[in-house]
Structure 1
Amino acid sequence: MMNSRKTKAQEETQQAGSAKRRCLFCGQEAELIWVHGHGQCAACGTNAEECCRGEQCRN
């Protein structure tokens, strides 16, 4: 069973709505898509936000 709790980084990204940001890898303005705890660029699929940066889930 996967943990459905979000990290602070995930919450901050989702609070921005569908705001696009420029990918540091491909240069495209694209949304950040959360997959298995890490954020991927919607344009190129590169891992833009690591899943293991020390964030803790909020209760």
Structure 2
Amino acid sequence: MSNPRKSFLATLGTFVEVFGSAAAVSNAVEGGRAPKAKHLKALGIDPGAFRSIGKL
């Protein structure tokens, strides 16, 4: 049987990681910088596709 406490802590850790990545990407974009690839990947965003936004 799985331990409910471990499951909760794993879920909480994932939430903290995603929230932190969202904040990091937001701050980078607002500051006119490219966000780090690891933060984009944590949010499910392809870094190459993100960098090509606005380039036609």
In which range does the TM-score fall when normalised by the shorter chain?
under 0.3
Instruction: Name the structure where helix makes up a greater proportion of residues.
Output: 2
Larger Rg: 2
Instruction: Name the structure where strand makes up a greater proportion of residues.
Output: 1
